[in-house]
A and B are shown apart, each in its own frame.
Chain A
Amino acid sequence: MSFFTSSNLDLAREIVGRYPRPRSALIPLMHLAQEQHGWVSVDAMRQIADLCGVTAAEVKGTGSFYEMFKFHPVGSYLINVCTNISCMLLGGEELLEHAQYRLGIAPGETTEDNMFTLEEVECIAACTEAPCLQVNYRYRLRVSNTDFDSLLDRIRSGAEPDLSKHGTLTNVRQQIPIDRVANIVPPEHAREMPVWLHRNEASTTQAVN
């Protein structure tokens, strides 16, 4: 039984094809699995192992190194509050505390309605806009307690359309048109000097359109 839907399986194969070695697609495929399912299941990892030519233990071993992969169900909205130094200086911890109070859960937990999962995270690269958070990896900056409350309300009422469902990171995917691919091959098949480097010897300049 395939874990991936048939269109995602095609996509997975396409992604594998973008790397000189299939194993390099391991993390991208875990993202794809999480996008499809919300979290990375045992079946997903087994299939990723097949697609990348590794064992399932290697998939879990690699995947579990990274924060973003969830191996258990999480809420539809993952709220990541930053408490690292810049945010801490301007109230990140207080915001997290407020979030706990509002949601009635501790970091790492999911609300009973499976709507929200709260996490305390390290610096999310918006330090000058502290305190800040991400909901499904979309920024909310300079968030006050009241901002937080209204954010929850708007999410609940569907008034935050830019927030994709959890697991979906972006709405745009790279596409490489087949006829535009330069030369993606395993390293052992690319031992020749790239052709344009020959121009170092020949002094001819080339027409560029």
Chain B
Amino acid sequence: MPTNDYVAHAPGYVNNEGPKLVTKRFEYADSFTLQRFLATDGYTGLRTALTKRPVDVHNEVRGATLLGRGGAGFPAGIKWGFLPPGKYPYYLVVNGDESEPGTYKDRLLMERDPHQLIEGCLIACYALGLSQCFLYVRGEMALAQERIAQALNEAYEAGYVGRNILGSDFSVDIVLTWGAGAYIVGEETALIESLEGNRGMPRLKPPYFPAAIGLYGQPTIVNNVETLANVGWIMANSAEQYRAYGSETSPGTRMFAISGHVRRPGVYEVQHGVTTFRELIYGDNFCRGIRDGHELKTFIPGGGSAPWFFEEHLDLPLEAGPVGAAGSMLGSGAIVVMDETTDAVKAALRVVQFFARESCGKCTPCREGTRWEEQILERIVAGEGRPSDIDLLLDIADNISPGPYPVAAHHAQGLEAVPFPPKQTTICPLGPSSVAPIASTIRRFRHEYDAKITKRDPIPLRIEVLA
């Protein structure tokens, strides 16, 4: 048995064996302080960057093939290159709204190592000429906000953020903003709306690609917390060293949260692209298998939005390409494992319910369709299903996301994991995401639906009100 295990001051994080690029400070109880950060190579990436020309810093990140960790997996260096020249000001918006079911790497990064994130932001701003940075943190993450506020206060005081950083001509403000509870605000254009003081309703891409028309209509880079957390390491070391980890197309490491029916659920830093689902779920260094006496039924490989995987997918590597080709996505790095005790219909209902509750309400198919799906599934689970309901569900799904689902998977060749234009009747992928659990479970566990419908064998719905 390896000795590594849970880290008491970072509940959920498992300090397993393997290279640690972004979680290396997690073992220290005071990892979030400036003092510890500086004592462990902190801000050397920034110092290195400031000695270079901005364009060279950008090229270094481009060379590292740092894939975005927010879900779409788009290379950060390439995205950074989309800023239209001369249309100043440019803004940086950090997506710390992490709300995808099953996901929680960003929260740990913000709580345990806020300076690492700040350093990443500063380097991005320096490289691209971004004149202000907004760090948007999910509202419910009080500790993360506290730690970032503390870190920013220290960093401002010590001259790492603000005017004339480290005595140079580089000046940038980082403003911490709290969200207020809305999953959809994780979608980058909705996040921008929210930052502008609006309802978090996504904008249509095109034309509203943030890099072209973003915050206040200005070119804006939106990056995920984990993406930026990698940038300091890349600058402090090099793109070349970064690429020594992980696979050719997915270099570096990546954080995964594996939850559900495994023996050692947790958040792990894993080599990107080389580790397989089987190693992650069954390996001794990771989750150590399905809980005692049970066996795998299905698992969700990339957060609530991803189509579900089964036994036969276990040997796929944690890499966008192969996972996409197999019909799902790595998404936000959240794996939810279900054993044979799981009621597939009930589980599908719970995920659909999430999307119905979180729909922003802008697109008719998502607003009405997800709620309708939820109502039908509730009825089936309550033993009130009709034989026609399955076709109805599939047809509603088709009206939200026409054609073979998910299109993302079918187009996912190489790095451009979110294809444009997508086949969806909605503005953003939230509505279509609700189709994943329905299509997955109907395809694989149709007998469970049939059993509920024909035998009228209800699982009682939760008791809502108690006498």
Contact = CB atoms under 8 A, between A and B. Distances in A.
**A/B contact in complex, CB under 8 angstroms:** yes
Interface of A: 18-21, 23-28, 30-31, 52, 54, 61-63, 65-69, 80, 83-86, 88-90, 93, 96-97, 100-101, 104-107, 121-130, 134, 136-139, 141, 169-177, 179-184, 187, 190-197, 199-200, 203, 205-209
A177 B173 CA distance: 11
B334 interface: yes
B104 A126 contact: yes
Q: Is the interface of A mostly helix, strand, loop or mixed?
A: loop
A113 B357 CA distance: 29
A153 B103 CA distance: 31
B153 A170 contact: no
Contacts of B47: 208
B194 A127 contact: no
B172 interface: yes
A74 to B, nearest CB: 14
A72 B271 CA distance: 48
Given A127-B103, A127-B104, A184-B173, A207 B167 contact: yes
Given A85-B102, A89-B336, A126 B12 contact: yes
Contacts of A105: 466
A121 B138 CA distance: 14
Contact of B168 (A28, A172, A208): A208
Given A127-B101, A138-B143, A169-B145, A200 B153 contact: no
B149 interface: yes
B178 interface: yes
B466 A88 contact: no
Contact of B139 (A68, A171, A177, A190): A68
Given A67-B181, A125-B138, A197-B54, A172 B149 contact: yes
Contacts of B463: 97, 100
Contact of A197 (B98, B129, B150, B350): B129
B257 interface: yes
Contact of B169 (A96, A129, A172, A206): A206
8 contacts: A31-B180, A66-B182, A101-B466, A174-B148, A174-B175, A182-B131, A191-B89, A206-B50
A23 B145 CA distance: 21
**What 10 pairs between A and B have smallest CB-CB spacing?**
A67-B181, A66-B180, A180-B162, A26-B197, A125-B104, A23-B197, A182-B171, A127-B259, A128-B265, A86-B259
B430 to A, nearest CB: 13
